[in-house]
Structure 1
């Protein structure tokens, strides 16, 4: 009888359209009805007959000439049948509008280009809309239910994710023990939403048990399946009404079948009262399928009306796709106020009733509509549904850690490690960024380098400028007193050059302070290497001159001085310094120092530093300075026993001892100092060795020149008595 109601609904809708002067004026719609007998072959043959125009004609009006064109097909009721029909009918570009096929696979426009439906698909708009990711599933013990159970889990992933807390198969018939077990499974689960894909008779038995046991769950029951097993009982001729009448009143029209009267069967008179019979046909408490049939017929009518109103030359006329084109764009409001339009997949806007199951004192179950789920709901009319999740979403700064042995929707929230953010999977921040304290976003890393604005940088800068100022003052003192014996006796030209080189040593330390640039990285080591070689070369030559002068004072040693004249001294200093310049040039050309952003020392900081480029080049530069310093120390050590007032060998020995000690200590300190502290160690070594040379070599001389001028005489310089051989 359900199929008969659907057929009558279609007939009613077409008659209503034909009586409507505003819709399809001067056009009369007709229809042909087929019964698929719940058989795929029959349904398939019927659809091919309609598409090919070879169907049998039963015309009530003899004025019709020829077979009228088929506008579209309304049906089929089964998703399986509809898939087969649409796969072939789509080739004819003939639209199929189903009112009951819910399989989400039919939304594939590539496979089913002319399929439409007025019933929501089996997709999960409600689950996704309400954020339900942890649900239970109850299915009927038949092909549909078992297929739904298999496809449900894969579709959950496709439609945004979710997990099933359990899957239970509802048995046919009354099995109290099995229903009790299913209800116990529902009770012990943490899922607060239950999805039911089953028939009405399954639900009645289940709800009897649920009424006693469970009161706190939300039940999501797909209403198309509450109408029982559906078939498409279609009228092919007027005698189908006789069959309906005989089935309703349990009688037979004359002539009755053989043996009918003898068996006590009644004959139909035609005077029976339909109002006295309680049948499914007269039950109007649930007209959901019929409403979808009504909308399907009207959708085809509105599409045809829009196509007929199309201006010539402004419509799509490729092949036979006109009606499909207009059906895709149909948009109207039903007499009940519901809007009908199709999305790009041919699916209608989903509308669901929210049902409340009530158990009456007499044991009856009353199902009452208490709300509607619409995609076009007005602002302020939304409901507040309960939450049904296995685990709440992780807050920012944490990541999901799946619980062992649980579905992926069940997880713990673990704080992200430093440098990572997000609430799904902790992802690393970009190289120049670090995670905020809350681990919810990335923030730029702080920069670190030896700055002029920090206390350490200020102290080193002040010390460098102090050393430079002292060198300038000492140089001024020596220039002012250049004619005195103290200045003349200590090789004034080398002393002036030594002071200039010391001033350069102090100034080159400033290149190590501030944010590293390419030019500062290249210049700092070159300036440091050349200025220190110039300084040590002057000391080496001074030591050699002291030894030569002492040797010349002995009998037969006068020839040694000619090898250490002023020209030879300048040439020696120039050659020794030029060697260092060549080393620096080769280093800069082959593998130049360059600025580098180091993120390995600290996680939340970027250390800007200069990489030396070639470690060999840097080692050769330092090694050459060390070689000259050791050579100067050895020569000065050999000359330490010369008359006190005649030479400065002891001062050179002491200054070279300080110099070597500083740079020997520098190497391990530099290697083990991270970031800006490595630059600070190198600056400290430069300043310490420079001050050591300045104080050791020029401190006593300035003391005599400024504070003990009586000792600044040739007699005092040459000694109290004769020099002993």
Structure 2
């Protein structure tokens, strides 16, 4: 017997006893351990040397929660208790293989080909989030035919899989006529000593990412690649003395993407990724998981070596006496609230990656249950308390998982095909970020390989958050002629107003409250008036600019900021006055409508004065009509880029939406009425944004040779 003694030690695990054991190797920690030295025993690593990604701890909790659900369910594996044995890879090849051997040997000692724990049996292993880690695990687990649940695509950085990813993507892009400016590969950090050596190329890679010719970046978003990418952006901002968010790219990410930050990057500005598009594993909300998280306490979690480190790194505090604290650290009380952590550090709802682990555990349990009930002898074992681990072998699960399906605890159907691969598609998400390090996932499409021909890939462009991206593009290209044309400050004001136009739909969502009833129509009226006033000012600027070029014209004195500011302020103040009268005479209020629908009571915002609501809407329509008329008359003015024609189209869309709104609004009740107004707000805002700014962005991003003063004035 060959016992491995004194290996490089990481004394952290999470063990819960059971008859059948599910193993897991997560990747939530990293460390800067030294290179191998054969003159002394490797030292044990303690928390001070560890860099943590607190959000990844949810992957452990999802497995623990799933095991808890199954053990409490008398209909699945009765009289059999599931347990688990969890280690971390520490982003290190040696540690990953060492901990895989520990899974195979039992938790007491590590001896290859020998299991010290005769009362429990390792039945399956949930693979790592990183493809390199999963491959290192599979090298050992495949010898024992233990099912390994690798739940992310096998794509990686500077290795064979990464090369395949690049070659496949390059071929597809070339077929579509898209050129690739560069292809950067992040280091595969099999151990942390190699990380130090790879810092030499950081400056070069950081500069290439900020290449001004490149507007779209496709990222193979494995955890290590994601970490390196944030470091590249950070170092670029330091070298160039700029903010991280000034990079101004459109990001497209693979399904491993998630907003998470390690303990050294907690202040990283995630707005650099605002508007990013990513694939995501299709998932469902698991309500009981949030309740499970609320019960967690650092003083009561027994057997979990990871929990205290997670708590310290997430809340930036230490469990120690005050005199032992180092500078910059607070003392952990254990009363800190997980729900108060930013989404960058931890989320209370189950993420897509965690949902995959959750489903993996349920798949193991349901496959075992099916295996036992399909054989009379094994079925009788379920009715007995006595159980021998030698009665079942892990490889027997492979056959059961072929063409296998089940419903998990939230009713979601999970299916496996003839190759034991998960038969599910992907959601397409648009990531919207905010300055307080929070973010939203907005579903904008889906990819379903099992759908009908032509419907395998669906994306709703109008749901994508472009406005913020456009603002970034315009700020980054602020010195170019097309941005300077027609009052640059007015352009920025319009973009910001459109951003708030989209946001003003939020108060319409949820249970009516006094504050939301007061604010939602008022905010809608004033914000949209500001946006339309900006467009009106731009329209008059176009007309007066051409009139002023005529010899002897007296219009020159009207061209300038004074006129545009007067139009913007004057038009907006009239709407503010109308809204003020509304609030002072008959303000909106929460109300119960017991008459519109039989046997139903509708909780709604009563507008107070319907007349004042239509005054607000009517004034907005009047501004839009004036805008449309002036822009329509100016559409044939000379110039290679006459903005009046685009304003004409935008006002046509705007007026069409709100003319359709009135009969639709009057013919609906309750939540349908609210949905009609939200739809009108979003569509009209998107119409203004698309018609006015898409042509400019097209030239800035795809036709930069046209973004010159000569091109703009050549037809004047």
| TM class by smaller structure | 0.3 to 0.5
Q: Which has the larger radius of gyration?
A: 1
Structure 2 length-normalised TM: 0.35
TM-score (norm 1): 0.35
